Amino acid sequence: MSTETKITAEKFMVSASPHIRCDESISKIMWTVNAALAPAALFSIYNFGMPALMNMVLCIVAAMATEYLILKWQNKAMVVNDGSAFLTGLLLAMNIPATLPWYMPIVGSIFAIGVAKHTMGGLGFNIFNPALIGRAFILASWPIAMTTWPISKDMIASLDGVTSATPLGILKQQGYQKLVETFGDKGTMYHDLFLGTRPGSMGETSALLLILGGIFLIYKGYIKWQVPVFMIGTVGILTAIFGGDPFLHMMSGGLILGAFYMATDMVTIPITIKGQIIFAVGAGALTVLIRLQGGYPEGVCYAILLMNCVTPLIDRLVRPVKYGARR
């Protein structure tokens, strides 16, 4: 057989699937997301000090330990180092106050991994985002502790005490003018919201660093830009329509953290781009509804969880029609 004939034959050689391969893996994706979150996490430790570091470590260790014990009990291969449990613990830590008592982060992490993840079948089978389920469980169990927010060290000199309401909390309870007065003026308020020098959870740190981490994930192809853009944009547009400050709402609370790092969870989000846009718009609309009309000043957590419920319906709605068939 000539060299030319051999090369031609190799081009048409059929092998077993998969036919398209890449060097990506679950472990690589998870650790990349952890790395993208790292700058904002480190900034929150700088902002809130050792309590933030302590709770972050507790959440991560408890999540990984729970994962290890469940997998060992099930006699499954040890995959604790795939980064998913670490990410769940880190995201949960970013969704709680830095000063939360030590046992609450542990309980929240155990619930997130043990109930929200493994009762559904483990990695890839969970219906809801585990970190948000853990946060919702802690909030329902200890509402006062979960709504007592530490002040960043840059604000302690200008405010009495070491705790304060979040910007959305002040807005809900005392109005927009009082919120502006708390920061001094609108310019200072937007500056502090963007950089993260304000009371709130550890994930309400630097919007700048969270966005940069999110852009990195978009560049890597791990998340789609449509989800954060449509979710954040929906919040801004609807807030403006109903007479609120769109820039305040887009930079406040856990919106940026949720839009880039939790609404984009590949397990709990619709498969198609069209479905993901519907999901993002729905999550943004629910966030505005809860913030403006609900009893809670923040609504990102429940908005994403509610949209997780309808993900299968969205997938069915936007499912491509077979060739020659009718929808």
User: Would you call 189 exposed, middle or buried from its count of C-beta atoms within 10 A (0-12, 13-18, 19+)?
Assistant: buried
Give the pLDDT of residue 158: 42
Look at phi and psi of residue 94 and say left if phi exceeds 0, alpha if psi is from -120 to 50, else beta.
Answer: alpha
Q: Which CA distances in Å does 213 have to 193, 259, 313?
A: 17, 12, 30
Q: Which residue, 132, 56, 123, is CA-closest to 84?
A: 123
Specify whether the CB–CB gap between 283 and 226 falls below 8 A.
no
Spatial neighbors of 19 by CB under 8 A, at least 6 apart, are: none
**What pLDDT score was predicted for residue 183?**
78
The model's pTM: 0.86
Output the furthest CA–CA distance in the chain (Å, rounded): 87
- Tens of pLDDT along the chain (327 residues)? 555 555 555 555 555 555 555 667 788 889 999 999 999 999 989 888 899 999 999 999 999 999 999 988 888 766 567 889 999 999 999 999 988 999 999 999 999 999 999 888 888 888 999 999 999 999 999 998 888 877 665 554 444 434 457 788 888 888 888 888 887 788 888 888 888 777 778 877 788 999 999 999 999 999 999 999 999 999 999 999 998 889 999 988 889 999 999 999 988 999 999 999 999 999 999 999 999 988 888 889 999 999 999 999 999 998 877 766 676
DSSP 35-55: HHHHHHHHHHHHHH-HHHHHH
Contact (CB, 8 A) for 107 and 140: no
Distance CA 282, CA 277 (A): 8
The predicted structure's pLDDT at residue 237 = 95
Query: What does the pLDDT read at residue 124?
Result: 82
d(CA 229, CA 242): 20
Within a 10 A sphere around the Cβ of 60, how many other Cβ atoms? 22
- pLDDT computed for residue 160 by the predictor: 42
Query: How far is the C-alpha of 206 from the C-alpha of 208, rounded, in Å?
Result: 5
> Which of 127, 167, 144 lies closest to 247 in space, CA to CA?
167
Query: Residue 321 has what pLDDT?
Result: 73
pLDDT of residue 159: 42
Distance CA 205, CA 192 (A): 9
